[in-house]
Structure 1
């Protein structure tokens, strides 16, 4: 499935989103912000064709759901439907009487949260009350009569500030980015040196059983940009995409099959679906161009073995062996191995072949830090603890060992940027820079 990961705008790439945008005019009728006490903080009626009192049914329904341990994200009262998300101490609720596209509603609600967080740092009841004028201005700008408009906070900040309306230059006029065909980028941007920095970042989620078998593994990747380009450039990105190579009839062993691809709204979806070309006019500055997932069996990059011995309920000894299972030309940086210990442990003593250890009693773990861990290496750590609680029968093996790390210049999936073309009508020369990073996500190894 391929999606834009932002709500779509009427001013976006026309043919790509017209049919989707037409659906939205019937969707977002109201947005309410509910505090913990169930009071309306702020609301916006986008189409004016629903009874405002309908929202009073929402909190009683939520209270009944909590009593029944029900967590449905969509609830109904009569002919009214409430689509809601919870953030901090707030409920954000959208109302409709239509058979709406729920995925688009939730996408918009989460984008509202992101915009508010970028404006107010923290989104909670207090920040809403302190900035209610700005909140109303933002709600008026991000949607018009049910159509999502500008949802990029960088563009919004050009004409909506936390001090309210700051722009007072002659007759009021909308910013160029609102009426422009490219709503996420301003016109007239100029730089002395034109560059594009691209980071391909992959997180490895892994769960290994106590017997050493891989129970769960997946790769979650993202491509992030930092764009320092003048004018209105068009970029074309080529990856070693398996589907692309099959379409073009080329054979190459090192290809990747991307799943659950999500793009920034700047990417032309129709072009990608036709010939797998990633073509776009990028936002200025930093942004996430795309994200993807690969369900594949991943060989553990850092393998952990541990042995825990108790001696007469008075002390415990933990032996941990860590082995890097990637090629020697790569190096894992800032490795942190978190080994669980009994909660009543004290008098820690450590011995390591490399790195340093510290006891974190608030987490009941030993943290073994290795600043640089080259591929094909193996290191040892021993920890001794006293156990003052003689009757403690806590099972240390219940909690898994977790590992944090980062490996630069390496991707576990084998994804590669084949080319990044930069086209701008003025014809200036620009330098593209690409960096690969693999890091730990939810990386756990169970112990005996």
Structure 2
């Protein structure tokens, strides 16, 4: 049970506000934003997703730069409320096509209508896009997606030399194409977030993959779909290692620790031929979530070294090598390394001919930042940084710095080697042939190398 729901912009502007029970003061949105803002300024990092202030519990998630917030005075389940906020964001995106501040402001009437159907007097009624289509009939005011900056992994999927259509993630489930027709198509995204920790000598200490098979359907009549995965897919620890230096695009044994499925998935044939049968609801939903802690080939190797170079000076050498095929390119790479607190100045030296690299020293929090626009598979990149200190280090300088962390996005690559072998849609007629898109992306969740 929640008392209020509101959406704030990055500036703290109140875009959407709904008070369901009148138990929490009206100024809660301003109180929340000030608390979150000062939490960051006080050097404690981002505010936690759940916190209590003056007897009010605040729950929030950040979606494409917007803060979705719920408040309550009762001791509600945090996981329940956070999941509700994510589902509300997904429903709004399904209806508007594009989720951002501009689309929310233009469609505020439709958004409030959706909120009134999703929540009644603080109690959740439904978060299913398909169910809501029976009650909410208004079409959205479409925001031109061409003017929007790319958001998230879905904007950079490429299949060979053919870019996915721009409507892939910006189309409403209720709005028709020009001319009143609806384009029949379905998107299946295999999105993996990987966590790896390397020791100072380069060995893998921990490795984990959190993956999801996400589906977005624009098929009329909800036809039955058959989704086939790797035939030798194994669920549960079998004690085997699948550490293999072959390309991740190949098949091979895939061993998942555990997984769960959407309620619409029928698993009668799953144990026999690893085929998922489902009648997909309209909108976006996770077909399958999975986790893997078996060894896998990490996409990047990071080597980091820091050593003293005379009085009040030290040198940092960072090397990054892409361990995937040269046909694959990683995007939006950012490497960060905390430096000793007495560092006053940093000078950088990149490789000759380096393109698309930017370096920076964040003096406020003593952090080195190195960003690369792209890294082609098989390539290696090196950065040298010369540090100047305000005082001598009386201890081990290695203990004063690090660890090195890295974020990245790699389209059309997945570390687990889980694959969709085929996507079969039940035919309504001989001429029925909807578009099918299967896409892969790997992102860093926690990619860390110790010094």
Normalization by structure 1: what TM-score? 0.60
- What is the SS of the residue equivalent to 1:108? helix
Q: Relative to 1, partners in 2 of residues 1:238 and 1:385: Cα closer, same or farther, differing over 3 Å?
A: same
Q: 2 CA distance for matches of 1:370 and 1:32?
A: 38
Give unmatched runs, 5+ long, in structure 2. Answer: 33-47, 142-171, 239-250
The answer as to whether partners of 1:226 and 1:287 remain within 8 angstroms in 2 is yes
Q: What residue is the counterpart of 1:242 in the other structure?
A: 234
RMSD: 5.3
> What residue is the counterpart of 1:435 in the other structure?
439
Partner residue of 2:359? 359
Cα displacement string for residues 295-349 of structure 1 (whole angstroms, at most 9, x for unaligned residues): 23334321122222332335433333333334x4653433736253564224433
Distance 1:436-1:132 versus aligned 2 partners, 3 A rule: closer
Judge conservation of contact 1:231–1:424 (CA < 8 Å) in 2.
no
1:167-197 C-alpha deviation (Å, 9 max, x unpaired): xxxxxxxxxxxxxxxxx97699986864434
Alignment correspondent of 1:141: 117
Alpha carbons of structure 1 residues 74 and 260: separation in structure 2 relative to 1, 3 Å: farther
1:420 aligns to 2:396 (yes or no): no
The residue correspondences of 1:10-409 to structure 2 (distance < 5 A) are: 28=1, 31=4, 42-44=18-20, 85-86=59-60, 92-93=70-71, 104=80, 106-112=82-88, 115=91, 137-143=113-119, 146=123, 148-152=125-129, 155=133, 158-159=137-138, 194-240=184-230, 241-243=233-235, 254-257=253-256, 259-261=258-260, 263=262, 267-268=264-265, 277-283=275-281, 288-326=286-324, 328=325, 331-334=328-331, 336=333, 338=335, 340=337, 341=339, 343-352=343-352, 355=355, 357-362=357-362, 364-367=367-370, 369=372, 371-375=374-378, 379=380, 381-385=382-386, 387=388, 389-391=389-391, 393=393, 395=397, 398-409=401-412
Call closer, same or farther: CA 1:353–1:262 in 2, change over 3 Å: farther
1:422 positional shift: 0.2
Correspondence 1:411 to 2:405: no
| Residues 137 and 366 of structure 1: CA distance in aligned 2, closer, same or farther (over 3 Å) | closer
Per-residue CA shift, 1:355-392, capped at 9, x if unaligned? 564321237325263734333x5x352525362x4416
CA distance in 2, matches of 1:372, 1:196: 30
- Measure, in 1, the Cα distance between the counterparts of 2:113 and 2:384: 58
Matches of 1:272 and 1:287, distance apart in 2: 21
- The SS at the match of 1:140 is helix
> Cα gap change, 1:365/1:334 in structure 2, threshold over 3 Å: closer, same or farther?
same
Give the Å deviation of 1:218. 1.0
User: In the TM superposition, what is the alpha-carbon distance from 1:219 to its structure 2 partner?
Assistant: 0.8
Whether contact under 8 Å (1:31, 1:95) holds in the other structure is no
2:161 alignment partner in structure 1: none
What is the number of residues matched between the two proteins?
Answer: 364
Q: Indicate how the Cα distance of structure 1 residues 403 and 195 shifts in structure 2: closer, same or farther if over 3 A, else same.
A: same
Q: Which has the larger radius of gyration?
A: 1
Please list every run of 5 or more consecutive structure 1 residues that lacks an aligned counterpart in the other structure.
1-27, 46-51, 64-70, 76-80, 163-183, 247-251
Give the TM-score taking structure 2 as reference length: 0.60
CA-CA distance at 1:229 after TM superposition: 3.6
